[in-house]
Amino acid sequence: MAGLAGGLVETMREIGGGITVAAVATVLTSHSRTLLAARTSDADLTAATHAFHSAYWVVVAAAVLGLVTAVAAFPPTPTAVADASEVPASQHAVSGAGPA
């Protein structure tokens, strides 16, 4: 992709990545604090495990949202495939290499 469309796609990709990292960090820290407040015997390991589990769900949700957005923003368009017999001889890669 080139030009304005390519710039917009790249900008949205960067913004989406930044928002996703911020959301994952927020879920990770808040869930860890909540679980550490319980103060069980294995609170540190349990908090880290559950916090990362929750953060991974945020990553999965962001990936699904990105997939849905990409499909909606860039619907597949059928491309016309030219038959070799319909291409003029002047447009063949090698002159005189038209269909026999």
Non-local (6+) Cβ contacts of 83 within 8 A are none
Q: Which domain holds residue 46?
A: 3-76
Q: How confident is the model at residue 58, as a pLDDT?
A: 85
Q: How confident is the model at residue 92, as a pLDDT?
A: 56
In a domain? residue 89: no
The pTM assigned to this predicted structure is: 0.54
In a domain? residue 86: no
Domain count, the chain: 1
In a domain? residue 60: yes
In a domain? residue 58: yes
Would you tell me the crossing angle of helices 43-73 and 3-38 to the nearest 10 degrees? 160
The mean pLDDT values, 10 residues at a time, for the chain of 100 residues are: 76 86 86 74 73 85 87 78 61 55
